[in-house]
Structure 1
């Protein structure tokens, strides 16, 4: 499966910990990430991750394009719901594309855990 990994700044450490704890499961999939998140994940793991631009610099839009072109199966996006994001319109567009194209979207640890358990049962 093709999985995108994204995290707002205050959620990056939580995503890194989640991916590290599940590195073996993630290693079975093609991984994509926005710039800084991908860099940090690769430094913390042995995973190969195709990095896009940083979210505020167009990375969210690059991931959105992948959704619209049927190149992603799941998005794991640990969002910081309590902090205003300068690129909020891009984030909203990404979420909208997940709805339009029916791409499963996990926005927190609980939903990401369920997604990962489900896809690794296959």
Structure 2
């Protein structure tokens, strides 16, 4: 599965803690991340991460484009609900795209843990079936 990892500045420590704890599961998937978050994950965990631009510089939009093009299966976005973000419209658009394209979206560690545990047990394999069906319809 292709997993996008995004974290606001105040949540980057949480993302590092999360990816470190779940690296045995995450290492068998393709990881994508916004710039700074991706660099930190790679440095701290050794996991390979495909990096896009930083969120405020268009990275959230790049991940959104991947969602719209069926190139992302799961989004884990540790949002900071207590700090205003200058690129809030981009964040809202990404979340809307996840809803439109039925992409599971976790916005906090508790939900992300449930999602990754489900991934570990194969509970999200329906995404692969949907992608296969869409490929046959073209």
TM-score, normalized by length of structure 1? 0.99
Whichever of the two has the greater Rg, that structure is 2
Which residue does the alignment assign to 2:10? 10
Matched, 1:99 2:93: no
User: In the TM superposition, what is the alpha-carbon distance from 1:106 to its structure 2 partner?
Assistant: 0.3
Q: Could you tell me which residue of structure 1 aligns to residue 63 of structure 2? A: 63
**Aligned positions, number:** 122
| Superposition CA RMSD, Å | 0.5
> Does the residue aligned with 2:14 lie in a helix, a strand or coil?
helix
Q: Which residue of 2 aligns with 1:29?
A: 29
Higher helix proportion (structure 1 or 2): 2
Q: Which runs of 4+ in 1 moved over 3 A?
A: none
5+ residue gaps, structure 2, are 123-138
Question: Structure 1: 5+ residue runs without aligned partners?
Answer: none
TM-score relative to the length of structure 2: 0.87
Q: CA deviation at 1:17?
A: 0.4
Q: Deviations over 1:81-121 (max 9, x none)?
A: 11100000000000010011110000001100000000111
